[in-house]
Chains A and B, each alone.
Chain A
Amino acid sequence: MGEVRNLDVEGLLEALVNHSIDFILIGGTAAQILNLPVPSTIDVDIAPLRSRKNLECLSEFFENVNASLLTAEEDGTWFPRTPIENWAQYSTLHLITDFGLLDLVFEPTGTSDGYQDLVKGSVLLQVGHSMIRCITEDQWVELKSSTGRPKDLEHLRQYFSGKKKN
């Protein structure tokens, strides 16, 4: 696997929307769009709806953006788009695409049913040419608080100390 040719968050979100994929933007890119005082990472995290139709749309999207699987050991491995059950059995997929890095998180820690839990409080935002669903600031705090990972606690500390200054 060579160099990924692009790092294009807006293009990636637009491609997801164009493939009619139901998802909610979470993680660092959501924090960036909400202008929270924490640094965003260079990957896009989404919580997709786990319905048959949506998984089929994702499968087609994978093909069109040349998605490959990323692991701690491998730098990107092509994977079969069908049968869907093969890749949809995992709760998280780390992918390299033509637009950059994409993480699919079906059940983010702190939710019991991923998309279905988050959609209730999420907001619709315009990013570039696309309208996308994004978590709110409160949901971001909730999700970060739930993981207990050191780096998330660091982000929460930055968030609360930044909030106090304002």
Chain B
Amino acid sequence: MPKETTSRNLIQIARLRSGMSQMELARAAKTSQPAISAYESGKRSPSVETLTRLLAAAGFELRMQLATPDTHDVSRKNAEKLLPKSQVRGHINRERKRLKSNGRGKKS
């Protein structure tokens, strides 16, 4: 099973979209800044109840839905094997350079 990353990403996205610091979100959600930090780093996973509360404190509502698994990544990985390896490597390196030079992103 892949690691669950949805809750940590949702908390951080909600906080950043609302322009709050971890401390401000902690205050609004009546929890501590270290707890927010632990959730965002993935060290701790919140319960659905806690996640709902944290997102509400940032001004968002948690909505869930069921979906069939996305097979696109599997297809793409298969296809990548058909592409010239040097070109795939070139693409990845160019992307790393771009993300590094715009100073905003993380390495792929």
A residues engaging B (CB < 8 A)?
Answer: 1-7, 32, 35-43, 70-72, 75-76, 94, 96, 100-101, 103, 148-151, 153-154, 156-158, 160-166
Docked-complex contact B95 and A158, CB < 8 angstroms: no
Count of A-B contacts with CB under 8 A? 112
Docked-complex contact B13 and A156, CB < 8 angstroms: yes
For the complex, give the distance between the alpha carbons of A5 and B67 in Å. Answer: 35
The count of residues in chain B whose C-beta lies closer than 8 Å to any C-beta of chain A is 40
Docked-complex contact B13 and A162, CB < 8 angstroms: no
Kindly list chain B residues whose C-beta atoms are within 8 Å of the C-beta of A35.
98, 102
Kindly list chain B residues whose C-beta atoms are within 8 Å of the C-beta of A70.
75-76, 78-79
B residues engaging A (CB < 8 A)?
Answer: 2, 5-6, 8-10, 12-13, 16-17, 65, 67, 70-76, 78-84, 87-88, 91, 95-96, 98-99, 102-108
Mostly, the B contact residues are helix
Q: Given A94-B75, A101-B76, does the pair A154, B9 have CB atoms closer than 8 Å?
A: yes
For the complex, give the distance between the alpha carbons of A4 and B78 in Å. Answer: 12
Docked-complex contact A1 and B12, CB < 8 angstroms: no
Docked-complex contact A162 and B67, CB < 8 angstroms: no
Docked-complex contact B83 and A153, CB < 8 angstroms: no
Q: Can you list 27 A-B contacts (CB < 8 A)? A: A5-B84, A7-B83, A7-B88, A32-B98, A39-B95, A39-B108, A41-B76, A42-B88, A43-B79, A70-B75, A70-B78, A70-B79, A72-B78, A76-B79, A101-B79, A101-B83, A150-B9, A153-B5, A153-B6, A157-B8, A158-B106, A160-B13, A160-B16, A161-B16, A162-B104, A162-B106, A164-B16
Docked-complex contact B83 and A37, CB < 8 angstroms: no
For the complex, give the distance between the alpha carbons of A41 and B95 in Å. Answer: 9
Kindly list chain B residues whose C-beta atoms are within 8 Å of the C-beta of A165.
103-104
With both chains docked as a complex, state the minimum distance between the C-beta of B13 and any C-beta of chain A, in angstroms.
5
Docked-complex contact B5 and A150, CB < 8 angstroms: yes
Q: Which residue in chain A gives the minimum CB-CB distance to B105? A: A37
Docked-complex contact B9 and A37, CB < 8 angstroms: no
Q: Which residue in chain A gives the minimum CB-CB distance to B72? A: A94
Kindly list chain A residues whose C-beta atoms are within 8 Å of the C-beta of B108.
39
With both chains docked as a complex, state the minimum distance between the C-beta of A12 and any C-beta of chain B, in angstroms.
13
